[in-house]
Structures are given as structure tokens and as C-alpha cells.
């Protein structure tokens, strides 16, 4: 007879943490989608390009949604996936301020039904779980750590670790000033905001986004604190300066001896 522990080992042996980029841009068009990634087909982080990227069958598999902050390009598809999957419950994780934006502006009984309490408060379509900064949360088989980042609106990044210790950090939207963030995480992959090219370095601070020169300082800080540099994927790209970002990121990768590349819609990475 096989014990439960043995079954778990058999099931997870050789398991790879699979990350699929659904939306890699800050502006939407026919060819670009808004911020969203999918982990192992079941856990989405941000919902800017969630429903438009997935078939109905793929949407059906999404059990968990983590939201980094309340800007429209990150929460937009939450009511859309709820509407199509109203026969079941999707677990939504965010800080209180992000839930408040969702409840006030999208699932407010005007734009969409109040999915957080509908059809009943006990079994809603969207079950909202409130996260606290630095307080780890179990989400399915994952260990999720919300870490505050630097943005115009209250925002967190998420370190997501699977049962085998494989780990990513998704920054969401952030500007520079991440040293306290780096002290709490040790991922194998960093997925970082990269909305600006270097010509906008001065302008990047106010809205809270990064450009390659600002990322350079952050990565140097990461290496000083953690003693290594993980692979880096750049997302939330501004399509208008994407070629500049690509060139500047390549120079940065060379300078730091790091693996830095741009995300794109449909890109898959396994760890
Ligand atoms: Zn934002
Ligand atoms: Zn954004």
C-alpha cells in the first residue's frame, strides 16, 4: 500500500513550475495584452489579459487569482472570468485596498453583479481573501508572500513558491526603491515591471515604474543582499519604446552577466 506522503512524492517528482505570460504590455491592442501571468494553468497573477488570452476550457481551470494592485489594467478581467464561471467559486487574493477598488468600481451591482456575495455570501462566485504585507499565505499547493512595492497606488509583488521550493517573484507595477523587498525573497525568476526606456528615467519615479537604468541599481541591490542574481523577465512593456527597452536590457544583461529578457504574450517558462 502506498502512503499519502509517497503519493505526494510520486506526483510532484519531476514537476516543473510552469509560467505562461498572458499579457506583457502596459497598452492593449490587437497584438498586445495587459498584465497577467498564469502559473501551472491554475493560478493567475493579475487579470488585465486573463479572459482574452484563455479559451473557455482554460478559464475553467483557473482556481486562484492574485491581484497586485487596483489599477484597471491589472483587475479588469476579474468580473469577466466570474461571469463565465458563475457555477463555481474562484478564490481571489489581494490586500484590503485592492479588494475595496474591485468592490467599489467593478463588482458593485452596477457594472457587474456583486460577485463577492452572489449568489450567496457563503458560496460566492468570487471569494475574496485579504492579504497582509509580509504575511505568507497558502494558496492551493503554493506558498504566497505579498511584499509591498513602490507605485502610485498601494501595490504588492508576490513571491510564489511551489511544493518543491521552486519560486518566482512577480513585481506587478513598481518603481525603484526595492531593497526592503529583496530582503524577503529568494526567487529563481524575477518578473519585473519595465514600462519605460532609459530616456524616461527621470519621469519613471512619479508613477512608479522601472526603466533599464533604474532596474540596474535594483538588481545590484538584490545581488548585494542575496548573493546571486536570478533570471529576469521584463513585462508591462510600453510598446512605443519596446525596441529601446530590448537594446538597453541586452546591454544591462551583458554588464551584470545576468539572464535578462523581455516577456511576450504566449511565452512559457518552466523552472
Ligand atoms: Zn499600476
Ligand atoms: Zn499597470
What CATH number should be reported for the domain holding residue 140?
3.60.15.10
Higher model confidence: residue 168 or residue 3? 168
Residue in 129, 33, 110 with CA at minimum distance from that of residue 74: 33
Residue 254's contacts (CB-CB under 8 Å, 6 or more residues apart) are: none
Give me the pLDDT at residue 57, please.
Answer: 98
pLDDT at residue 5 above 60? no
pLDDT at residue 30 above 90? yes
As beta bridge partners, residue 160 has 144, 168
**Average pLDDT value for residue range 249-261:** 98
Strand 231-235 and strand 189-193: the pairing is parallel
pLDDT at residue 33 above 80? yes
Write out the residue range of the structural domain in which residue 140 sits.
18-266
**Residue 267 CA, ligand 1 centroid: distance in Å:** 22
Residue 4's contacts (CB-CB under 8 Å, 6 or more residues apart) are: none
Q: How far apart are CA 48 and CA 57, in angstroms?
A: 19
* Cell triple for 7: 503519493
pLDDT at residue 99 above 90? yes
Please check whether residue 138 lies inside any domain of the structure: yes
Helix axes 242-256, 212-226, angle to 10 degrees: 30
* Cell triple for 132: 497582509
Q: Which letter, b or e, does each residue of 242-252 get, where b requires 16 or more Cβ atoms within 10 Å of its Cβ?
A: bebbbebbeeb
Q: Which ligand is nearest to the CA of 207?
A: 1
Q: Write the pLDDT tens digit of every residue in 167-210.
A: 999 999 999 999 999 999 999 999 999 999 999 999 998 899 99
As beta bridge partners, residue 235 has 193
**Residue 116 CA, ligand 2 centroid: distance in Å:** 23
Please check whether residue 13 lies inside any domain of the structure: no
**Average pLDDT value for residue range 256-266:** 98
**Average pLDDT value for residue range 241-256:** 98
Please check whether residue 262 lies inside any domain of the structure: yes
Please check whether residue 5 lies inside any domain of the structure: no
pLDDT at residue 145 above 60? yes
Please check whether residue 8 lies inside any domain of the structure: no
Place 43 in a pLDDT band, splitting at 50, 70 and 90: very high
**Residue 126 CA, ligand 1 centroid: distance in Å:** 22
DSSP labels for 51-116?
Answer: GGGS-HHHHHH--EEE-S---HHHHTTHHHHHHHTTTS-EEEEEEHHHHHHIIIIISSSSSS--TT
pLDDT at residue 1 above 60? no
- pLDDT over 70 for what percent of the chain? 95
pLDDT at residue 8 above 70? no
Give me the pLDDT at residue 14, please.
Answer: 73
**Residue 236 CA, ligand 1 centroid: distance in Å:** 10
Give me the pLDDT at residue 12, please.
Answer: 54
Dihedral angle sign, alpha carbons of residues 26, 30, 36, 39? negative
**Residue 72 CA, ligand 2 centroid: distance in Å:** 8
**Residue 23 CA, ligand 1 centroid: distance in Å:** 14
Q: How far apart are CA 171 and CA 93, in angstroms?
A: 15
Q: Which ligand is nearest to the CA of 34?
A: 2
Q: Which ligand is nearest to the CA of 27?
A: 2
**Average pLDDT value for residue range 23-33:** 97
Please check whether residue 80 lies inside any domain of the structure: yes
Q: Which ligand is nearest to the CA of 208?
A: 1
Q: How far apart are CA 90 and CA 47, in angstroms?
A: 13
Give me the pLDDT at residue 4, please.
Answer: 46
Residue in 55, 43, 19, 54 with CA at minimum distance from that of residue 268: 19
Please check whether residue 271 lies inside any domain of the structure: no
Residue 37 host element (H or E): strand 36-39
* Cell triple for 229: 542574481
Q: Which ligand is nearest to the CA of 73?
A: 2
Q: How far apart are CA 254 and CA 237, in angstroms?
A: 20
Q: How far apart are CA 23 and CA 36, in angstroms?
A: 5
Domain count, the chain: 1
Give me the pLDDT at residue 15, please.
Answer: 83
**What is the pTM for the complete model shown?**
0.94
**Residue 47 CA, ligand 2 centroid: distance in Å:** 11
Give me the pLDDT at residue 13, please.
Answer: 60
**Average pLDDT value for residue range 143-156:** 98
**Average pLDDT over the chain, rounded to an integer:** 95
Residue 41's contacts (CB-CB under 8 Å, 6 or more residues apart) are: 18, 20, 58, 61, 62
Please check whether residue 7 lies inside any domain of the structure: no
pLDDT at residue 149 above 50? yes
**Residue 69 CA, ligand 1 centroid: distance in Å:** 7
Dihedral angle sign, alpha carbons of residues 74, 79, 80, 84? positive
**Residue 67 CA, ligand 1 centroid: distance in Å:** 11
**Residue 205 CA, ligand 2 centroid: distance in Å:** 14
Amino acid at each position: 500500500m502506498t502512503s499519502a506522503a509517497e503519493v505526494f512524492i510520486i506526483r510532484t517528482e519531476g514537476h516543473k513550475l510552469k509560467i505562461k505570460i498572458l499579457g506583457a504590455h502596459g497598452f492593449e491592442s490587437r497584438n498586445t495584452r495587459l498584465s497577467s501571468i498564469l502559473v501551472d494553468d491554475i493560478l493567475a497573477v493579475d487579470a488585465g489579459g486573463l479572459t482574452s488570452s484563455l479559451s473557455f476550457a482554460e478559464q475553467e481551470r483557473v482556481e486562484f487569482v492574485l491581484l497586485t494592485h487596483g489599477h484597471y489594467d491589472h483587475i479588469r478581467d476579474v468580473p469577466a472570468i466570474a461571469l463565465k464561471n458563475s457555477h463555481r467559486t474562484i478564490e481571489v487574493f489581494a490586500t484590503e485596498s485592492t479588494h475595496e477598488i474591485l468592490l467599489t468600481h467593478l463588482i458593485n451591482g452596477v457594472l457587474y453583479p456583486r460577485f463577492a456575495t452572489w449568489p450567496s455570501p457563503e458560496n460566492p462566485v468570487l471569494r475574496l481573501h485579504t492579504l497582509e504585507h509580509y504575511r505568507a499565505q497558502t494558496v492551493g499547493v503554493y506558498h504566497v508572500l505579498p511584499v509591498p512595492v513602490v507605485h502610485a497606488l498601494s501595490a504588492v509583488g508576490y513571491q510564489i513558491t511551489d511544493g518543491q521550493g521552486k519560486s518566482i517573484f512577480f513585481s506587478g507595477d513598481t518603481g525603484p526603491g526595492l531593497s526592503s523587498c529583496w530582503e524577503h525573497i529568494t526567487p529563481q525568476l524575477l518578473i519585473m515591471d519595465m514600462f519605460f526606456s532609459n530616456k524616461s528615467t527621470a519621469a519613471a519615479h512619479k508613477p512608479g515604474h522601472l526603466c533599464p537604468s533604474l532596474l540596474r541599481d535594483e538588481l545590484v541591490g538584490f545581488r548585494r543582499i542575496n548573493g546571486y542574481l536570478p533570471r529576469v523577465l521584463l513585462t508591462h512593456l510600453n510598446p512605443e519604446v519596446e525596441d529601446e527597452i530590448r537594446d538597453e536590457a541586452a546591454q544591462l544583461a551583458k554588464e551584470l552577466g545576468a539572464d535578462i529578457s523581455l516577456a511576450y504574450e504566449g511565452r512559457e517558462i518552466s523552472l
